[in-house]
Amino acid sequence: MSAIPKEEYLYKCTSACAGCSSSLCLRYVLKAAGPDSVLVIPACCTSVIQGTYPGTAMSVPVYNVAFAASAACASGMSEAFAAMGRETNVIVYAGDGGTVDIGIQALSGAFERGTNFLYICYDNEAYGNTGMQRSGATPLGARTTTTPGGKPTTKKDLDRIVEAHNPPYMATACSAYPLDLYKKVKKALSIEGPKFIHVLAPCPPGWRYPTEKTVEMGKLAVKTGTWILYEREYGKLTINGPSKAAMRKPAPLEDYIRGQGRFKNVSPEILNLMRQQVQQNIERLSREEAGVC
Amino acid sequence: MLTIATGNKAVAAAVKAAKPGVIAAYPITPQTEIVEQIADYVAGGDLESRYIPVESEHSAMAACIGASVGGVRTFTATSSHGLLYMHEMVHWAAGARLPIVMANVNRALGPGWNIWAEHTDAFSQRDTGWLQVFVGTVQEAYDATLMAFKVAEDERVLLPLMVNLDGFALSHITQSLETVDIGDFLPPYHLPHAIDTENPLGYGPVTGPADYVRFRWDIERSMRDARGVIAEVEREFAERFGRSYGPTEDYRCEDADVIVVAMGTLGKEAEVAIDRLRDAGIKAGSMRLRWFRPFPDLDLAGREVVVIDRDYSFGFGGVVAHAIRSKTGIEPYSVIAGLGGQEVTYNDIADFVRNRRPGTETWFGVSDHV
């Protein structure tokens, strides 16, 4: 941890909810990116977390833009900096709704064009800013305010969509492993072209667990194999430390979902489907890493 | 240099002279020729710009927003459905006080699919905070595009500007064009609130009512100041390059009893109608409305007015007729003509004048008049 700079670019006393893991992520993202960086932020929790005019909770420029527009706005900014010979990092920090749903067209366009920027999706698996409505990233069985009986369909596989654009670098991360996230942001920003990091960001009010469990919840997501930490550099897959052990012997899925109110009353059938999904995902990535396709 | 060009090529030539740092482009008929021509300029090394072939018009405007606040001059072009698709970002560009210049090739909206001239697309962006100018000739398309950058980027304005030209009726017709060596007519792009990591600011965060009201008022104050800036820039343009423009282009209005108010190519067509009417002893004139936002003060006192609207606000009336009525107190004869590229000749316009019934509305080509 000694490698992580002491400088803080996200100030204390933001408007985040208690136990907010996306703020934790942002803190490490900014430490990795450093002061010559710009954040482009669509409508999402961070629109609120950054504070209200005329204040700002960050010591880097923050450009707020409309919900669907962040990747396209970042494209323009990145090209402007290129035209001016500036090497400022352009980083989109967007929620899951702004990424997998309304923003996916702009995301796809920016990656296809080879835009030089880093897109970070912090994923709390619902529209958190508006009070937890289901998004395309909400997992099977999860209750939200618009899926009161539990979501009947599975989580959109954002990573495979991004992977289909063949970016030079993409990774998954989780708020419970900040050093891993820090290293991934550092590595991403050292590479030219479109980079993508998908961070699982557990959300106490949305997932309905006590605020002090926010780190534990992220660890359980990884230990159960529900969330797998990996990197893909120029297409080559590497499974990262904590997930290697978890994939060999995942903890029981119940350990992860038991503590979350959003999965209360999940039927045995849905639970079984959830288990199957975790297993399929582990097998797919294990096969790929072993070179067996 | 004297040449011939289409309206679209004239816009592209002006953009080449203005040297934007970033151009975001998405094709749509009848605008496509503009972004194709600019792509050729960039590919051939005639224009050193970063050309972003975006995946939608929403992203075209979003990319212009990012580039403009990033610190470079920006341009895009669109039309019709493209303009409507970017509508959210059209508002955003003005609210963010970014001097983006956009050519909008006026075209009707579906359904049914119609690719021909109509002004409803631009008028649907009326309240976004964009300056809007409408041109009537190929030369004016070039001149207005050049001036657009200077007006928009003026620190007293800092609002985006839309140059409107009629689909096909101007975008695809060929006229003579004199291009100019612009010299230092356009100063280097300078945005006071450009992104600077040495001076990190929050842009567009959550803003409470008291501050929000002040920001909205500031847009209106700049709109009002823009009238003077436009006049200054048009005067300087005339001094440097010899072509004069104003809020309206008035033709034989001095002693006219009746004045035709129209926009775009129909405003030019009206001039021919005026000559025919004058030949027949009718003291008519025409006033081609160039600026739509900010809307100019018009001197129509004591005249009868015939307004041609190539647009319509359903459940209300012609947009320009309404503007004339509210600005001057005159009850015009409101003619709805040219929708979806409907052909309107100078003879038709002369008939509008001959058959005028002030205070009423007529739909040209529809048998049941209102």
List the CATH number of the domain containing A285.
3.40.50.970
- 8 Å CB contact of A83 and B72: yes
Whether residue B167 contacts residue B105, with contact meaning beta carbons closer than 8 Å, is answered with yes
Closest CB to A80: pick one of B66, B196, B207.
Answer: B66
Query: Is B89 in Cβ contact with A59 (below 8 Å)?
Result: no
Which segments in chain B show pLDDT lower than 50? 370
Q: What is the 3-state secondary structure (H, E, C) of chain B?
A: CEEEEEHHHHHHHHHHHHCCCEEEECCCCCCHHHHHHHHHHHHCCCCCCEEEECCCHHHHHHHHHHHHHHCCCEEEEECHHHHHHCHHHHHHHHHCCCCCEEEEEECCCCCCCCCCCCCHHHHCCHHHCCEEEECCCHHHHHHHHHHHHHHHHCCCCCCCEEEEEECCCCCCCEEEEECCCCCCCCCCCCCCCCCCCCCCCEECCECCHHHHHHHHHHHHHHHHHHHHHHHHHHHHHHHHHCCCCCCEEEECCCCCCEEEEECCHHHHHHHHHHHHHHHCCCCEEEEEECEEECCCCCCCCCCEEEEEECCCECCCECHHHHHHHHHHCCCCEEEECCHHHCCCCHHHHHHHHHCCCCCCEEECCCCCCC
Is A178 strand, coil or helix? Answer: helix
- The strand pairing partners of A194, in sequence order, are A117
Domain presence at residue A30: yes
Residues sharing a CB contact under 8 Å with residue A82, sequence separation 6 or more, in sequence order? A116, B50
- The predicted model gives A53-64 an average pLDDT of 96
A-contacting residues of B 44-83, CB under 8 Å?
49-50, 52-56, 58-60, 62-72, 74
pTM of the model: 0.98
Rounded to the nearest integer, the mean pLDDT of chain A is 97
Q: Could you tell me which of A117, A145, A169, A128 has the C-alpha nearest to residue A19?
A: A128
At B305, list the tokens: 């007015």
- Does the structure show a pLDDT above 70 at A292? yes
Cβ <8 Å between B202 and A76: no
Predicted confidence at residue B334, as pLDDT, reads 98
> Tell me, what's the pLDDT at A2?
58
Does A84 contact B71 at a Cβ distance shorter than 8 Å? yes
Q: Helices marked H in chain A — which ranges?
A: 21-33, 45-49, 70-84, 104-112, 158-163, 178-189, 204-207, 214-223, 241-248, 253-257, 268-289
Residue range A174-197, pLDDT digits in tens: 999 999 999 999 999 999 999 999
Q: Is residue A4 situated within a structural domain?
A: no
Question: What tokens were used for A286?
Answer: 């294990």
For the question of an ipTM over 0.90, the answer is: yes
Domain-embedded: residue A151: yes
Question: For chain A, how many structural domains are there in total?
Answer: 1
- Specify the pLDDT at position A3: 82
> Quick one: closest CA in A to B90, which residue?
A66
A79: chain B residues, CB-CB within 8 Å:
21-22, 50, 52, 63, 67, 70
Question: Would residue A14 count as lying in a domain?
Answer: no
The answer to whether residue A212 is domain-embedded is yes
- Determine the pLDDT at residue B368: 55
Residue A209 covered by a domain = yes
User: Contact, A42 vs A65, CB < 8 A?
Assistant: yes
Inside any domain, residue A15: no
A59 found inside a domain: yes
B340 touches chain A (CB under 8 A): no
pLDDT at residue number B370: 46
Kindly determine whether residue A78 and residue B65, on different chains, have CB atoms separated by under 8 Å.
Answer: no
- pLDDT at A164 exceeding the cut of 80: yes
Q: Which two tokens stand for residue B12?
A: 């592209």
What residues make up the domain containing A69?
21-289
pLDDT 10s digits, B134-155? 999 999 999 999 999 999 999 9
Cβ–Cβ contact B207 with A under 8 A: yes
What is the tens place of the pLDDT at every residue in A193-251?
A: 999 999 999 999 999 999 999 999 999 999 999 999 999 999 999 999 899 999 999 99
Asked if A72 and B54 come within 8 Å (Cβ–Cβ), the reply is yes
Domains and CATH numbers, chain B: 2-241 (3.40.50.970), 248-363 (3.40.50.920)
